[in-house]
Structure 1
Amino acid sequence: MEEEARSFLGSFVEEFPAALEDGSPLPVSPLSRKVTLEELHGESLELGLRLLAARGAPAGLSALLCQAALSQLLQNDLSPFHCAQEAGHNQEEEQPVVLLQSDAVQRLFLTKLIEVTLAWHQDFPKHPPSRFLHCSVHAIKNTRRKMEDKHLALAEFNQLFGIQSGVDCAYYAVFDGHGGVDAATYAATHLHVALSKQETLQSDTATAFKSAFKHTDDMFRGKAKRERLRSGTTGVAVLIQGQQLSVAWLGDSQAILVREGQAITLMEPHKPDREDEKQRIEELGGCITFMGCWRVNGTYAVSRAIGDFDQKPYVSGDADCSTTQLLGDEDYVLLACDGFFDAVKPSEVPHLVLDALHQSVDPEGGGDATLEQSEDTVGLRVAQQLVSHAKAAGSSDNITVMLVFLRPLKQLLAQNSSTGTAQDAPQQ
């Protein structure tokens, strides 16, 4: 791994041998034109990871580089990047929000990133290896006019945030936007940052997750007001801390765990016709009506979401969270939006995954399945085949599927694809 990292650093410093020149175009575009100081954290990390990934950087190295560059950025005086306060702002009504010019401040961040890269190329620091989990993800627009799903796979959670707890953490999330992609993009950029800052992250992950969802919703409220945005997003996020798996969610995106070929329910999606959700909304003075599907006050087909501020509090921003101890015999956790689960039952997933695995390694079906190809290549095809199955089963929505494999694929291939049970598969 160190050899791969050194090789990347060498190629990167050839492309960026010095700081970016003033006035030169940025090599990657920021997400926003203006950001608050709090939003700068997530947007800078997203920008840096995107830049490095496009150049083939090892994921662990990317996280460490971005974390180091952001730490240096935040030590600078950022007041020169402040935007002028807009005319007509009534200071008596609310505290003015300090906004930064994204292009200018992100130029400084990228300069810090280049400086760190140059320094590490000369003197590469030692870093402990992190736990690696194979992740397979695939997303399609399908027949919809726009793609409003977003997702994030972050096996290097600790490295990205400089967390030294001694427990490896990995974060995965799928967001299903509606009314535009802004809320989904915002959640994919900021939720994990908010989670990393929760004091209870190690001691009470459920409380940390719920607070992070709520804080992200509050942050997006400010952006939506400033920029007149009206979108919303459901979301499901998984944090794996050692042998503990926590899943938090808003709305009808879902995650399921598969253990020895059997689907394990981790959560119950928030839908308007769910009895407790219906009661909550009606007690607030709202109503649930059927207009092709069950909707909150005749509008949104979800009862909880980030955004959708025109229907708060009926569409709640409060997430739920559940925690499961991993025993070592788990196969994988699957996260997906409703575009998948509306067409595929959770009980069908184990068979579909095993069939996809066997098809990936033995597409002709003429011999014993082997992993002659890399596990990365085989794993990536699994999500593609699940998405294709959901589309063929009638889904017309955006579809995103993410699988996080919790044990080697060769063990999963030892399972019988017709029964979904393990056959002499060695335990982890």
Structure 2
Amino acid sequence: MAGFVRLLVSGAERMVSRFFKTEQEEAVEAPSFFLEAPRTEKLLEQGALGGLRYGLGSMQGWRAHMEDAHTAQLQLPGALAGWAFFAVYDGHAGSTVAHFCAQHLLGHVLEAAALSGPAEEEDPQAVKEALRQAFLALDTRMQALSQAEAWERAGSTAVAVLLSPRHFYFANLGDSRALLCRSATVAFSTQDHKPSKPRERERIEDAGGTVTLQRVNGSLAVSRALGDFDYKAVAWRGQTEQLVSPEPEVEQLARCPANDEFLVLACDGVWDTFDNSGLCAFVHSRLSLSGDPQDVCERLLDACLYKGSRDNMTCIVVCFPAAPGVSQEALQKERELDAYLEERVAEIYDELLQQEEGPSLIGVFQSLATDVNPSLPPGGGLASKRAVIMEAYGRVKQSRGEQQPSVREAAAAPSAGV
């Protein structure tokens, strides 16, 4: 029942999103906002340096265009050789701003005087201010370029983590999000910037705007972003007092090497289907199967797609020495779960044969969704085992001398109440 409710809510959100598209989206993505079938090819990256490992995954999904971008740099230049920088940018109404940010934000950060001295002289307050100023300087630069070069009327959210030997520096703008997992729990997460939040609403209304349908002027779903210069044209207001602000919230957290396990940075296409604790648990459990952050990103994107995400999806998982490694116990439990699901699929198939409508892949998923199974991946649930279920269903049909699932039948399965 819970899965069915989620399906109804997801459908309602899609209808609202289509009806209240921004003018930019109408101009750029008309006539089709979504594809007829998702694009599931993935961009995958990985890297390692010292005790730091990262994996990255990005997938277009159901959206008509891919508008995400990212930055992953394990080692910064010069005196900052022990520092790293990771960021995810989620463009809307076009990809120009997101890609420009991916190419240039880090450069603006590195220009700060606070980052030019010896590492042992690190001043957390100065570093935080340097990050804030980098976002503002980049936005000013892009505004001039957008006018001179007639850019599309696009914008982008951003979430970035600057990692020093002693501190995490989180900077976020919009509804992309980062979290830190420490000792298997969420130790910190950034907060989304939504127009309905009191502080955001106050700024919007002070600038002469409104918050309607939880959107800026009934159109834009985030209250802070880079770009979106149509919302930054109130002449009597400063840069950070506009309808949409380019000012990030910057937080600093001391590192705890014995307990820090991993960071996750992701756009809202991921957070649409996972909450903080669910995502932390999912990544933790999947690391215990492979120990590979790139593999975890790939699994996470598939789980998001099959849990109902209709957006572009990008995630970065950064692992520290305390991150979970491969566990033989976890591998054995996963094998047992897969064997159980294969057996249940065969049982359900035979049960459905006795019913008038007959067996179907959707019917199998719906029946599995009613089972109470604590062994399913935490946070991911049944959707994260879709590949196993699909393969089992195909083998059952083959053993019964029937045709394999059709493309239409397979495409419908993710939304079958899971």
Structure 1-normalised TM-score?
0.60
User: Contact 1:236–1:255 at 8 Å: present in 2 too?
Assistant: yes
User: Contact 2:294–2:317 at 8 Å: present in 1 too?
Assistant: no
Provide the secondary structure at the position in 2 that maps to 1:242: coil
Amino acid of the structure 1 residue aligned with 2:79:
Q
Corresponding residue for residue 262 of structure 1? 185
Separation (CA, whole Å) in 1 of partners of 2:286 and 2:264: 14
- Which of 286, 299, 311 is 1:356 aligned to? 286
Separation (CA, whole Å) in 1 of partners of 2:203 and 2:190: 18
Deviation track 1:137-167 (CA, whole Å, cap 9, x = no partner) reads 1010000011000011101213xxxx225x6
- Which of 259, 264, 273 is 2:196 aligned to? 273
User: Contact 1:249–1:321 at 8 Å: present in 2 too?
Assistant: yes
Corresponding residue for residue 209 of structure 1? 131
Deviation of 1:411 after TM superposition, in Å, equals 4.4
Deviation of 1:283 after TM superposition, in Å, equals 1.7
Deviation track 1:112-133 (CA, whole Å, cap 9, x = no partner) reads xxxxxxxxxxxxxxxxxx6451
Separation (CA, whole Å) in 2 of partners of 1:300 and 1:189: 25
Instruction: Tell me which protein shows more helix as a share of its residues.
Output: 2
Separation (CA, whole Å) in 2 of partners of 1:344 and 1:59: 25
- Which of 112, 116, 119 is 1:198 aligned to? 112
Alignment size in residue pairs: 271
Corresponding residue for residue 306 of structure 1? 226
Deviation track 1:250-296 (CA, whole Å, cap 9, x = no partner) reads 10100000001101233211111112111111122111011xxx210
Amino acid of the structure 2 residue aligned with 1:181:
S
- Which of 318, 322, 342 is 2:247 aligned to? 318
Structure 2-normalised TM-score?
0.61
Separation (CA, whole Å) in 2 of partners of 1:413 and 1:314: 50
User: Contact 1:332–1:403 at 8 Å: present in 2 too?
Assistant: yes
Separation (CA, whole Å) in 2 of partners of 1:335 and 1:288: 28
- Which of 406, 418, 423 is 2:320 aligned to? 406
Deviation track 1:219-245 (CA, whole Å, cap 9, x = no partner) reads 111111111111100000001100200
When residues 413 and 353 of structure 1 are mapped into structure 2, their CA distance, relative to the original with a 3 A threshold, is: farther
When residues 413 and 254 of structure 1 are mapped into structure 2, their CA distance, relative to the original with a 3 A threshold, is: farther
Separation (CA, whole Å) in 1 of partners of 2:162 and 2:329: 26
User: Contact 2:54–2:294 at 8 Å: present in 1 too?
Assistant: yes
User: Contact 1:174–1:235 at 8 Å: present in 2 too?
Assistant: yes
Deviation of 1:390 after TM superposition, in Å, equals 1.1
Unpaired runs of 5+ residues, structure 1, are 1-55, 61-129, 362-374, 421-428
User: Contact 1:173–1:237 at 8 Å: present in 2 too?
Assistant: yes
- Which of 51, 62, 76 is 1:143 aligned to? 62
Provide the secondary structure at the position in 1 that maps to 2:63: coil
Corresponding residue for residue 164 of structure 1? 79
Unpaired runs of 5+ residues, structure 2, are 1-44, 116-121, 233-241, 334-374, 379-418
Amino acid of the structure 1 residue aligned with 2:162:
L
- Give the alignment of 1:56-205 within 5 angstroms: 131-158=50-77, 163-164=78-79, 168-201=82-115, 202-203=122-123, 204-205=126-127
Deviation of 1:380 after TM superposition, in Å, equals 1.1
Corresponding residue for residue 220 of structure 1? 142
